[in-house]
């Protein structure tokens, strides 16, 4: 009886050993399978074969749905939507890891989903209250949404923790500008200027500060830290914005430092209606436009164009002053340097028409059309002249052509 009991116990023990061995074998194979998938995934990722890498990491996750390392590797390669899902799983598996909240928020920022980014950045900061970069990211998210109050609060936190954070100074300065708190904006841009080591970046801050001082009406402070090149860049920006009064101020400083800004300043004076000063500047520009003996074909072409523009500008000022003979002379000189510029013929045609020389006016308008058959303005001017001369059929033909061209715009 005792022998039968011993045999039965032995069979049970053997059965248990077999089961344990089988489980150990399965676990070992599972771990080995996961490890193989992970290694293949990393190898594919290094080779730039992202889709194959994602497949391998996904296999590892199928074997073990709680494989944090597999999610960490896969999330780097996923498309945006799947990336968000993987970060959600990582947060589920490691809810106390602030990185997953920060990185998911970064993903939301990429797609301009700022309202989704806020909670994740805030959750991250609950765990890392001294993380200046996350405060800065949160501030930027608020700034993008136009929430300047919360943006300022978080930029301030950033700078308390990291007094050299250029992104925070830049963001805060932009808010001060929008709020018309220009003195504080200047302070922040000045701080950025002191932190920057890049020459182009420094010049950009100098230009920004100068433009703020101009808004404050304190031009002398604006130019204190400017060199000649920066003066020209600031002047050009104001010129392109059609803020000609400001352009004249900076161009004058630029000229005082030896720069050749006469043509641009002449154009600015012309736009402001000060034709006498404009003529003087165009004249100086023409005197300064000289070729070197070794000038390239490209340099010659550029110089000729600049001369044409200066003559054109000065001619237009003479026309405004009713000095028609001088205007015709300048338009003619402009045409010598830019013979295929149709608009010049139109302006010279206007001068001849002003003098009552309808034949020359007609010839100039026709020349403009010959050079540029798609130039609607030339047809309009010639049509008006034909109408004045009683040539109704020709006038109607030109007006029809003009309307057809304008309808194509």
Query: What is the pLDDT at residue 20?
Result: 47
Query: What is the pLDDT at residue 89?
Result: 96
Q: How far apart are CA 176 and CA 152, in angstroms?
A: 9
Query: What is the pLDDT at residue 19?
Result: 56
- Per the CB < 8 A criterion, the answer to whether 311 and 328 are in contact is no
Burial 53-87 (b: 16+ CB within 10 A, else e): bbebbebbbebeeebeebbbbbbebbeeeebbebb
Query: What is the pLDDT at residue 195?
Result: 93
Tokens coding 109? 């920022």
In the chain, where the domains are located:
341-409
pTM: 0.65
Query: What is the pLDDT at residue 32?
Result: 59
Query: What is the pLDDT at residue 323?
Result: 97
Q: How far apart are CA 315 and CA 289, in angstroms?
A: 17
Query: What is the pLDDT at residue 144?
Result: 94
Query: What is the pLDDT at residue 207?
Result: 85
Rg of the chain over Cα atoms, rounded to whole angstroms, equals 37
- Per the CB < 8 A criterion, the answer to whether 320 and 275 are in contact is yes
Best CATH choice for the domain 341-409 from the list 1.25.40.10, 3.40.250.10, 3.40.50.1000, 1.10.1740.10: 1.25.40.10
Query: What is the pLDDT at residue 255?
Result: 95
Low-confidence residues of the chain: pLDDT under 70: 1-32, 291-293
Query: What is the pLDDT at residue 218?
Result: 85
């Amino acid at each position: 009886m005792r022998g039968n009991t011993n045999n039965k116990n032995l069979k049970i023990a053997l059965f248990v050993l077999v089961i344990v061995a089988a489980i150990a074998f399965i676990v070992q194979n599972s771990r080995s399978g996961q490890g193989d998938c992970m290694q293949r995934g990393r190898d594919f990722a290094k080779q730039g074969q992202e889709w194959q890498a994602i497949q391998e990491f996904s296999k590892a996750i199928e074997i073990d749905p709680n494989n944090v390392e597999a999610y960490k590797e896969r999330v780097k390669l996923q498309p945006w939507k799947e990336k968000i899902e993987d970060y959600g799983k990582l947060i589920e598996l490691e809810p106390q890891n602030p990185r997953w909240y920060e990185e998911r928020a970064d993903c939301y920022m990429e797609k301009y989903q700022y309202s989704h980014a806020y909670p994740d950045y805030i959750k991250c900061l609950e765990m890392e209250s001294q993380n200046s970069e996350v405060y800065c990211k949160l501030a930027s998210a608020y700034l993008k949404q136009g929430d300047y109050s919360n943006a300022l609060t978080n930029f301030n936190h950033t700078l308390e923790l990291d007094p050299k954070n250029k992104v925070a100074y830049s963001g805060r300065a932009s808010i001060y500008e929008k709020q018309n708190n220009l003195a504080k904006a200047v302070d922040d841009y000045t701080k950025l200027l002191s932190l920057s080591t890049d020459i182009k970046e420094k010049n950009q801050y100098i230009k920004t500060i100068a433009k703020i001082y101009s808004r404050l009406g304190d031009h002398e402070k604006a130019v204190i830290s400017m060199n000649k090149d920066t003066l020209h860049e600031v002047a050009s920006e104001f010129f392109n914005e059609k803020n000609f009064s400001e352009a004249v101020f900076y161009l004058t400083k630029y000229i005082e430092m030896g720069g050749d800004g006469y043509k641009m300043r002449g154009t600015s004076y012309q736009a402001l209606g000060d034709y006498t000063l404009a003529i003087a500047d165009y004249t100086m520009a023409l005197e300064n436009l000289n070729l070197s003996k070794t000038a390239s074909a490209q340099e010659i072409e550029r110089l000729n164009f600049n001369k044409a523009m200066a003559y054109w500008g000065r001619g237009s000022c003479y026309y405004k002053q009713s000095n028609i003979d001088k205007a015709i002379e300048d338009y003619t000189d402009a045409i010598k340097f830019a013979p295929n510029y149709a608009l010049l013929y139109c302006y010279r045609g206007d001068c001849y028409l002003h003098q009552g020389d309808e034949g020359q006016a007609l010839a100039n308008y026709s020349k403009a059309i010959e050079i540029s058959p798609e130039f609607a303005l030339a047809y309009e001017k010639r049509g008006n002249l034909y109408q004045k001369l009683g040539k109704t059929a020709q006038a109607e033909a030109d007006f029809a052509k003009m309307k057809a061209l304008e309808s194509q715009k």
